Structure 1
Amino acid sequence: MDQSTPFIRCIECGRPPAVGGPAPALCPYCALPLTGPVPGRVRAIDAEVSWLERRVTALLSQRAALIAGLRATTQAPVYAPGPVYAPPPVAEASAPAARNVLLVLGGVLLTVAALAFALLSWGHLGIGGRAGVIGALTLTALALPVPLLRRSLNATGEAVAGIGLVLLLLDAYLLHRVALPDADPVGYTAVSAAVVAGLWAGYGWRLPGLRAPLPTALGIAQLAPVLCALAMDVGEYGLAWVLLGTATADVATAVARRGARPVRRVAAVSAVLTGGPALLLALWQLDAADGGGAAVRASALLAAGGVVLLAAGRRRPALTERLDVVAGLLLIAAAGGAVRPAMPGTGWEVLGVLLAAVALLAGALAARARGLATAAGVVHAGALLWALPAVREAVLEPLGWAARVGEGAPGGAAREAVGPGVAWSGDGSTPVVLGVVAAVLAAVGRLPAPEVVPAERRSELAGGAVVLGAMAALAGVLALGLPYAATLALLVALVLALLARAALAGDAPAGAAALALAGTSVGWALAEREATQVVLAVLGAAFAGAAWRAAPAAHRAVSAAAALGCAAGLARAVPAAWGWPAEGAAFVLLAVALAGAALAARLRARPLVSRALEGTGYAVALAALVCAGGSPAALALALTVCAIGAGGVALRDDRRAAAYAVPVLLVAALWVRLSAWQVTVPEAYTAPVAVAALVIGALRRRAAAGVPSWQAYGPGLAVSFGPSLLALWGDPHWVRPLLLGTWALAVTLVGARLRLRAPLLWGGGALALVAANELAPYVVQVAGLAPRWLPPALAGLLLLVVGATYERRLAEARRVRAAWRRLA
Structure 2
Amino acid sequence: MFRYADPEACPACRAPIAAGTSRCDTCGIQLSGPVAVNLFRTLTHADGLVAELLRLSATSTLNRTAPQPALAGSMTGSTAGAVTGSMIGPMPSFPVPAHESRAGRRTPRLTAASGPKILLGLGALCLLVAAVVFLAVAWSALGVGGRTGVLVAATVAAGAAATFLARRDLRGGAEAFTTVALGLLTLDVLGAQSAGWLDAVSDAGFIVLLGTVVAATSMAAALGARRTPLAALWSAQAGAGIGALVAVIGVHIFVDGDAAFVIALLLTAACTWAAHRLALTVTTSILGVGTLCWWLVTLTRGLAAIDTSPSIGEVWGGPQTWLVLVSAGFAAGLALVRALPRGARVAGLAAGVALIVVLLTAPVIDESLTRVALVSAVVALGGAGAMLALGDLWRWIVAVPVAVAGLVQVVIAVLLGNVAGTALTSSPTWSGGIGVHLEANSLDWWEPPLLPLAVAVGLVAIGAGVSLLAPLVHAHFAPAHWIGAGGLVAVSTIALLPATYDVPAALTLASLLILTAVAGLVATSSRSEITVNTAAVVVTFASLSAIAVSLANDVLTAVATGLLTVAALGLTSRSGAARAMGEVGFAPLVAGFTWTLMHLAGIDVEWRAAPILVILGAWSMLAARPTREVPAVVTGLVATCASLAMIGQADDGSSVQSWLAIDLTVAGVLAAITALVNPSRRRFGWASLGLLTLAQWVRLQQVGVETVEAYTLPLALVLLTVGAVMMARGPVGSFRALGSGLVLALAPSLVIAMADPVSLRALALGLACALVVLVGALQRWSAPMLIGGAVGVALVLREVGHADVLPQWMVIGLIGIVLTALGVTWERSLARFKDATARLRRMR
TM-score band (shorter)? 0.3 to 0.5
TM-score normalised by L of structure 1: 0.38
Higher relative contact order (CA 8 A, sep 6+): 2
TM-score normalised by L of structure 2: 0.37
Bigger CA radius of gyration = 1
